[in-house]
Amino acid sequence: MTKQIMVGSVPVGGGAPVSIQSMTNTRTDDVSATLSQIRTLAAAGCQIIRVAVPDMAAARAVGKIKEESPLPVVVDIHFDYKLALESIAAGADKVRINPGNIGSEDRVKAVADACRQRGVPIRVGVNGGSLEKELLAKYGRVCPEAMVESAFGHIRLLNKFDFDNICVSLKSSSVPMTMRAYQLMRKQSDYPLHIGVTEAGTVRMGTLKSAVGIGGLLALGIGDTMRVSLSADPVEEVYAAREILKAAGIRKEGAELVSCPTCGRTRIDLISLAGQVEERLKQVDKPITVAVMGCVVNGPGEASAADCGIAGGVGEGLLFRKGQIIKKVPQDQLVDELFALIDTL
């Protein structure tokens, strides 16, 4: 088991449930826009939020964001240790910074001391795209071994100043490389792992890559907190993360949709029907399985493992529960009837 750190009130590692993270894409110094996005993400199921801190205005805004944020706030800092110190003083719950990139050791010590005093953990975030030159020269290319060695370089610097409240990420845009790097790291240390595939892409491809990479790691028992990185509204990252956790069998809460692949018997627009049900299910947090099936003959039987569902016919469909037909419903009322049934479950 990994060690446990606390990100604000959210435990990460040590057997705690895998938490969902996302990152705001508003200007951090626009406090009201950032808070509004944080609230939206929290409502979607995000549990830890990260904000970029590229300058002092952003670092100073962290205090105001913290006052009202419903989620623990992680500050993302590159190179400038003063931004880290300012953000920590402002109440950041965690700092993502690579100590090897912030210059002299007294700067590392200053950040480590400030974090230790406030019980703030640091994430060492290795990115395959920005490995140290020496490691690239040593290994000749970006590879999992080089990524892990990079992580240990940063960790050693923190350990030197008696700081061990650490979690680690080893992201790459290559799924196999990311997976191997995390596996290697897990073998060699018990630091909690923040997992993700970086620069994964748009909603479709990014979700697929993340599902394979993050889902694959979770299936191996690796990963304590996760972020799906998408070139999209961050709320999509949270939805994707929830689905990956569900598909990996890690989380039971929230409804799961099953729908048939359609075939020559289908006489309804099943794809649009499944889309409508999927959208409305985002608001349902009961641990139920809901089926949307394409024909009344085989649908209820094929979906008998689902808690409830609908099967479409010509002009009308069936509402069923655990494979048993409850009633016939006109097609345009199928979705509403289904959700009325879900309300009673």
By the rule CB under 6 A, 262 interacts with ligand SF4: yes
With binding defined as CB under 6 A, does residue 313 bind ligand SF4?
Answer: no
Give the integer Cα–Cα distance in Å for 137 and 140.
5
Q: At closest approach, how far in Å is the CB of 321 from ligand SF4?
A: 17
Q: Which of 15, 140, 221, 261 binds ligand SF4 (CB under 6 A)?
A: 261
Beta strands in 281-339 (DSSP E): 289-293, 308-312, 316-321, 324-330
Shorter beta-carbon distance to ligand SF4: residue 43 or 314: 314
- Structural contact between residues 290 and 283, judged by C-beta atoms closer than 8 angstroms: no
- If one asks whether residue 13 binds ligand SF4 (CB under 6 A), the answer comes out as no
Contact of 28 with 61, CB cutoff 8 Å: yes
Choice from 4, 40, 101, 298 touching ligand SF4 (CB under 6 A): 298
Q: Which of 10, 124, 226, 295 binds ligand SF4 (CB under 6 A)?
A: 295
Binding of ligand SF4 by 260 (CB under 6 A):
yes
Name the closest residue to ligand SF4 (Cβ).
294
| Rounded Cα–Cα distance for residues 175 and 39 (Å) | 31
Backbone angles phi, psi at 45, to 5 degrees: 120, 5
Question: What residues from 17 to 46 belong to the interface with ligand SF4 (CB under 6 A)?
Answer: none
The residue behind tokens 């409850």 is: 326
Helix (H/G/I), strand (E/B), else coil: 5: strand
Structural tokens at position 163 = 């700081």
Residue among 25, 116, 33, 21 nearest 68 (CA): 33
For ligand SF4, the binding residue among 45, 91, 144, 294 (CB under 6 A) is 294
Q: Is 263 an interacting residue with respect to ligand SF4 (CB under 6 A)?
A: yes
345 binds ligand SF4 (CB under 6 A): no
Let me know how long the chain is. 345
Q: Which residues bind ligand SF4 (CB under 6 A)?
A: 260-263, 265-266, 293-295, 298-299, 302
